Structures are given as C-alpha cells and as structure tokens.
C-alpha cells in the first residue's frame, strides 16, 4: 500500500511564496501609511524598505513559530488554539528586540521617543493579525488535510474506532500523528507514539526506534548496513533500529535471522 502524502509540517513552497507576497504588500502599505509615528521619519523609500523587511521577516518567523507550536500542542494533546496567546506574546518579544536595534540604527531619535514597553505593545499589535492569519489559514488547514488524507486513499479516518490490537503490524510517526498499519490497511491517530502503543495489549511487539513500534510477527528479515540495522516487514517497508534498541531486540531473540548486507 502506498503511504499517504501528508502536507509538510513547515508548509509548502507555494504557501511561503504567497505569504511573502502578502508580506511585501502589507509592508508597502505600512511604509506609505507610516503607523506609530513612523510617517514623520525622513526618507520615505527607507521607511518603506524598513516596513517591507519587518513584515516579511515577521511572516517567516511567525510562520515557522506558529506551525512548530501547533505541532507541539498536538503531540502533547493540547488544543491548537491555546498556542495563539503565547506565540503572540513571546514571539513579539523575540522579534521586537532586533527590530528595535535596526530602527534605532536608522532613526536614533526612536530610542528616546518610543520606550521599550511601548515598542513591545506596537510589536504585539502588528503580530496579532499575522499569527491569527497563520492559525486560521495554515495551522487549521494543515490539521484538516492530515485528517482527511487517509479518506482519499480508502483508509479509515482519524476519528475511527481503535483497531484490533491483534491485527496491528507496526506504528510509525508521521509529523505529529502516528500511522497504524494493520492487516487490513492503515489509518492515522493523533500522537505521541507512547500514548498509542499504551493502548495495545495482547500482542508481542517492541519500540525499535523513537518513531517506530513493530509487532514481532510483522518481521520477515533483518538488514545490516554497516553499523545500522533495519527490520524488513511483511508489507515491504523497512523499520530502522536505533542503536539503543539493538541489545533489547537481541535479548528478545528478534535478531536471530540477522544477515550481513
């Protein structure tokens, strides 16, 4: 069976191209409007360049930060909406420091005219719509795409009942989801891997890698590539074996059929 093609965690090139185009457009608009008193700064072309650089760097920084925070929230079972306030507040502080240094280097009067706390408030005001846009247009869309990808391939949706443990062949991490491969197909389950494996009982299996759990009966052979071992599975997949797991697998008798490459 061909694995589902999940959307990349950090977005596609097309998404980033669109986001940066929006950043340029918003930066041009802000440069012409001159918000927060920046209209009275000299040299309009420099002001526009500053705002375009600010918005584009913000799109990149908050695009990455929002996606990573959402992935972490899903991994630990936290609602994705809960990431919005901390991303705005913490991200504004992180990005605001270098932007303030650049602004002061261009317009030294800002250091006296705009105190740090007021500067931080301005950063929060600009950051909030950016993060909200990323949350609603990117993060939630990414989650829906992951949820509906299995249905396009005839697999069971994420919300389906747990599979029969006796039919499970292996589990593997895909972004912040776990793919459950059974005798009858595969489906996605929200991670982490440890939570999914804790729901299995009555089946002989081991976690062989930080992102793989394999049932004993799913193994048809062992491959060695230098110091690395991989388990050959019944559906043609190969599961990596971490070095920390080799001794555990040997003790369990799983590597009796190990063959040199």
**pLDDT tens-digit profile of 170-196?**
999 887 788 888 888 888 877 678 878
Read off the pTM. 0.55
Contacts of 221 (CB under 8 A, 6+ apart): 231, 232, 257, 259
pLDDT band at 203 (very low <50, low <70, confident <90, very high): confident
Q: What is the mean pLDDT of residues 235-258?
A: 83
Lowest mean pLDDT among 6-10, 118-122, 133-137, 245-249: 6-10
192: which DSSP letter? Answer: -
Cis check for the bond before 192: say yes or no (omega within 30 of 0).
yes
Q: Can you give the pLDDT at residue 212? A: 92
pLDDT band at 24 (very low <50, low <70, confident <90, very high): very high
> Residue 243 pLDDT > 80, yes or no?
yes
Q: How far apart are CA 212 and CA 198, in angstroms?
A: 14
> Residue 206 pLDDT > 90, yes or no?
no
Contacts of 168 (CB under 8 A, 6+ apart): 180, 181, 182, 200, 203, 205, 215
Lowest mean pLDDT among 7-11, 218-222, 240-244: 7-11
- Residue 248, Cβ neighbours under 10 Å: how many? 15
Q: How far apart are CA 131 and CA 19, in angstroms?
A: 12
Question: Which strands form 238-241's sheet, in the order they lie side by side?
Answer: 238-241, 228-233, 219-225, 258-259
- Measured CA to CA in angstroms, residue 89 lies from 75, 126, 189 at distances of 22, 11, 31
Inter-residue contact 61 to 44 (CB < 8 Å) = no
Contacts of 160 (CB under 8 A, 6+ apart): 187
Q: Which domains does the chain have, with CATH numbers?
A: 13-152 (no CATH), 165-259 (2.40.50.1020)
> Residue 257 pLDDT > 60, yes or no?
no
């Amino acid at each position: 069976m061909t694995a589902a093609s999940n959307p990349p965690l950090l977005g596609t090139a097309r998404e980033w191209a669109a986001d940066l185009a929006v950043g340029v457009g918003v930066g041009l608009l802000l440069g012409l409007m001159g918000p927060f008193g920046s209209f009275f700064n000299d040299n309009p072309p420099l002001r526009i360049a500053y705002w375009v650089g600010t918005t584009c760097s913000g799109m990149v920084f908050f695009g990455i930060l929002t996606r990573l925070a959402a992935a972490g929230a899903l991994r630990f079972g936290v609602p994705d909406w809960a990431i919005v306030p901390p991303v705005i507040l913490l991200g504004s502080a992180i990005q605001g420091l270098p932007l303030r240094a650049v602004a002061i280097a261009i317009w030294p009067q800002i250091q006296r005219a705009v105190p740090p706390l007021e500067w931080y408030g301005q950063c929060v005001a600009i950051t909030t719509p950016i993060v909200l846009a990323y949350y609603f247009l990117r993060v939630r869309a990414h989650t829906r795409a992951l949820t509906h990808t299995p249905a396009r391939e005839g697999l069971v949706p994420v919300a389906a009942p747990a599979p029969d443990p006796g039919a499970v062949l292996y589990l593997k991490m895909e972004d912040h989801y776990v793919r459950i491969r059974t005798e009858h197909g595969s489906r996605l389950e929200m991670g982490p891997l440890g939570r999914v494996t804790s729901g299995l009982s009555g089946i002989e299996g081991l976690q062989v890698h930080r992102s793989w759990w394999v049932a004993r009966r799913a193994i048809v052979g062992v491959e060695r590539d230098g110091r690395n071992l991989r388990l050959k599975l019944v559906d043609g997949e190969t599961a990596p074996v971490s070095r920390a797991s080799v001794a555990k697998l040997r003790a369990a008798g799983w590597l009796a059929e190990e063959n040199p490459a």
